[in-house]
Amino acid sequence: MSWQWFHRLGSPRWFYHNSARWLAWLCPIAAAVVLGGLVWGLAIAPEDAKQGNSFRIIYLHVPASFLALAGYYIMAIAGAVGLIWKMKLSYMVMKSAAPIGAALTFIALFSGAIWGKPTWGTYWVWDARITSMLILLFLYLGVMALQYAYHSIDAASKAGAILGLVGTVNIPIIYKSVDWWYTLHQPATIKFTSAPSMHPDMFQPLLVMIVGFYLFYAVALILHTRSEILRRERKTSWVRELLNEKNQDVADKKVGKS
């Protein structure tokens, strides 16, 4: 079996060139699915019998929480691949995943707090699920901070990858927190093992939003990785060639003038 694809995948140059093509079709699909799901959930789905319309926050809260957790796996796995195979691109993906994950975790916490006010009568409780999500936010912020704590990019990447891997113990705790410490946060609505405890009219737009958030995450991760590639490789010949081709005429003109 040829390992060529693996090495190509690890090449920042290859990724930079091809990701532009992926974005061209991924962006419009992601925008359409997110906006379509949002309109469906906010305006068309029926209201909840007990919670009224405040339940509509679920269409942002649950997808953001899904991706906050899935994004952590992506960041930790990217860090592990970097540690094991010394793949530069992998570290760049890890660094890019950190701020996106932190933002999504913040959205999950913020939307949950707002939702809590009309439903539980409070913005915040030190419930197991909420507290473990707050720890997730700090783990993301920790990986971000480590990227700027070292002079050497290599040392920063390794430290971030190790923190990311150690932090994965928090993920099963988050998943199980609603079952282990049954306090205020309700148990999972969507389970692989049983039918959803939600009416299809409400459940279908939620599924659309979850797919939409996955697509959005892919777009955001590719955009962040592209800018990170450029930041780290800006002194290399391929980046210069890239610009040389583009700016040949402009450069010639400016040099001619002076």
Taking the complex as a whole, the smallest distance from the CB of residue 155 to another protein amounts, in Å, to 22
Question: Shortest distance, CB of residue 196 to another protein, whole angstroms?
Answer: 20
From the CB of 78, what's the least distance to another protein, in Å? 16
Contact indicator for 156, 150 with CB cutoff of 8 Å? yes
As measured in angstroms, the least distance from the Cβ of 3 to another protein is 30
| Closest to another protein by CB, 3 or 235 | 235
Measuring CA to CA, which residue among 190, 227, 202, 217 is closest to residue 29? 217
Name which of 83 and 209 has its Cβ closer to another protein: 209
User: Among residues 54 and 168, whose Cβ is nearest to another protein?
Assistant: 54
Minimum CB distance to another protein smaller for 86 or for 117: 117
Smallest distance, another protein to C-beta of residue 199, A: 13
Integer Cα distance of 117 and 120 in angstroms: 6
In the bound state with another protein, the residue whose beta carbon lies nearer, of 166 and 250, is: 250
Give dist(CA 27, CA 32) in Å, integer: 9
**Contacting positions for another protein (CB under 8 A):** 34, 38, 42-47, 52-54, 56-57, 60-61, 64, 96, 99-100, 103, 106-107, 110-111, 114-115, 117-118, 216, 219-220, 223-224, 226-227, 230-231, 234, 239-240, 243-244, 247, 250-251, 254-255, 258
Spatial neighbors of 226 by CB under 8 A, at least 6 apart, are 15, 16, 19, 20
Look up residue 214 and give its two tokens. Answer: 């996955």
Cβ contacts of 66 within 8 Å, gap of 6 or more: 210, 213, 214
Alpha carbon distance 175, 129 (integer Å) = 8
The letter for the amino acid at 80 is A
